[in-house]
Amino acid sequence: MKTTVFKVLSFTAFIFLILNSFAFAQITSSSASGRNNSKPDQVTEAEARIRQITDDAGKSFKEGLLSLQDNRRSVAAEKFNKSVEVFLMSGINLTSKDNVRARDCYNQLIETIYRIEFPTDAQVPQIRGLSATCSWNIDNKLADDIATLVRPSLNKQNPSAGNIVTASAVNGIPSDEPQIGFNEQKFESSPLDELAKLELTEEEKEVVNTPEGQQQYYVIQTAIANKSFGFNFQMHPMVQQFIAYYRGRGRATMETGLYRSGMFMRMARRIFKEEGVPENVAWLGQVESAWKPTAMSWAAASGLWQFIPGTGARFGLRKTAYVDERNSFESATRASARYLKFLANRYGGNWELAMGAYNCGEGNVDRAIKRAGVANFWAAYPYLPQETRNYVPNILATILIANNPQSYGFGHVRPAPPLMYDQIRIPPSTSLNLIAQASDTSVQYLRYLNPELRTNMTPPEPYIVRVPAGKANEVVALFRRAPASKLSNSNLANSAAGETWQTISNRTGVSVADLMAANPGMQIPRGKVFVPQGNKVASTNYSRPTSPTASPVANSIKVVKAQAGDTVAKVAQRYGANATEVAKFNGLLPTSVLGAGREIKIPAK
């Protein structure tokens, strides 16, 4: 998918914003003058508070710019995140018409940080405009230096400008490409970039004329005729030539892909089957990304399935300041299956043309078909982009090898175990650090399990987060102990046997009263305890998703459906299970009333 779509800020809209703000200021001034320049104390206090919040955010944002200028990218990311968090933690309603200044400043802050992290020549970050909207004192030279620093075309011409860190410093691979963005979560190059330039050698081309090649051709044709792969395709010498490539100089690429496929292929097969797409077509993911969720191509295509922003949005993948669902495991996989099915229907069930269009877009394939005069990939082949000419036979070669690795010399490769995780629903703007503490893991691993998250905080909405397998019930039970309004800005501390609230207070600096308020019902410390810092995040109920998720205990539980009027205790009694254990396993109380049809998991005895 080579055509990149970018969201462009409307300059007219920006000017309109400024004019409106100016008009608002004039009206306020006139009204005040009519009241002898006096305002109610509440209004004055509210304006002062919003001004303070905006100024605090500006201070962190400026520190982020200075850190980025010094090439301290991880520090810059923290400062930019903090500038956003100032608004989120303030408790003010950013959608209210009463908070126009804060709302406009916040919205433009989000847009500017996004443009700094994912810069394009078409839309550079408007730091001067942000400074004017928020009334921040940011030097124009600093604003212009940062806009130049992140501009891709200037970086390519002079990678050393401004001490830019290149991809070679990140991945250990020689490259002239500058690092994209500033976050510690690095993107990896997509295999599609090399595929576009790949040229087969004469030896690889000649393999089809050997006795072994002719025998291989017959075997493959027989398998296709027997519908062994779940869909029909036309065998072509280029498919065998790519098999020869992978058996020779491309061996390491195939071995790596077959190994990494184990982490995601089970999920991909399930979702493709649910969407009515042949399961083997899911091997497209190996060619697209080598099964790397953080793969990104030169055209800003991202994730396992390499969606560009425009196509991702067409199939329901959100891209905001908080999440980029193109990098999600399940959401992007389902979007990919739906896009492929849409394309196959467009081309009368021809999956070769569908895969070609997935790569270069429907427009290019439509034009190639028109010039060829027939809806056949190999007839349209000469009129397609070079990358797409390599792309489709490459996928078909991958499918053939993956379905019979022993015959092609890859029988020694053992796929990696499926990536296991549980999922829980988390309240708005919850720190990943707190979730990591609760699930006995690191923020880095949580970011690995949730590559769609763009900061170390969940979005300002209830959000489903992946945690290490087997930890969901523990995390849910732990979080339920404290009011949700106390979670977002809290930490967890492990209490030792015999400790008191006073000893924990002594080592955390938090009063005994605050500790006990954050851990209601706990007379003495037990296990992990919450250490509050105070916040104003809205309350949200924690619950497990009803859809099945990967878990190592999946085969040792029974999933049942509640009847009208059931409680957890009634369901447990019906199946001869301990009510307390069932409640704990589902993150509920024994007395919790269940809706008819709700799924409840009964742990094995």
Residues with active-site annotation: 288
Nearest-angstrom CA–CA distance, 147 and 169? 22
* DSSP per position, 535-588: --PPP------SS----TTGGGEEEEEPPTT-BHHHHHHHTT--HHHHHHHTT-
Estimate to the nearest angstrom the gap between the alpha carbon of 570 and the chain centroid. 39
Strand partners, 558: 602
Nearest-angstrom CA–CA distance, 588 and 39? 50
> How many CB atoms neighbour CB 514 within 10 A?
18
Give the helix/strand (H/E) hosting 361. none
Structure tokens at 38: 């006096």
Rounded to 5°, angle at Cα 8 from 288 and 180: 45
Positive or negative CA dihedral for 311, 110, 328, 198?
Answer: positive
Of the candidates 419, 404, 375, the one whose C-alpha atom is nearest the C-alpha of residue 283 is 404
Nearest-angstrom CA–CA distance, 354 and 348? 9
Structure tokens at 594: 């269940």
> How many CB atoms neighbour CB 34 within 10 A?
8
Structure tokens at 179: 């690092």
Nearest-angstrom CA–CA distance, 423 and 549? 7
Q: Which residues contact 332 (CB under 8 A, 6 or more apart)?
A: 303, 304, 305, 307, 312, 317, 325, 326
Helix runs in 35-158, H state only: 41-69, 73-88, 100-117, 127-134, 140-149, 152-157
The amino acid at residue 238 is M
Strand partners, 602: 558
> CB pairs under 8 A, 24+ apart, for 309-318?
309/4, 309/5, 309/6, 309/7, 310/3, 310/4, 310/5, 311/1, 311/5, 311/339, 313/5, 314/339, 315/339
Structure tokens at 390: 């390599």
Cβ atoms of 434 and 483 closer than 8 Å: no
Nearest-angstrom CA–CA distance, 169 and 38? 59
Calculate the alpha carbon distances from 4 to 1, 278, 300, 312, 337 in Å: 8, 28, 7, 11, 20
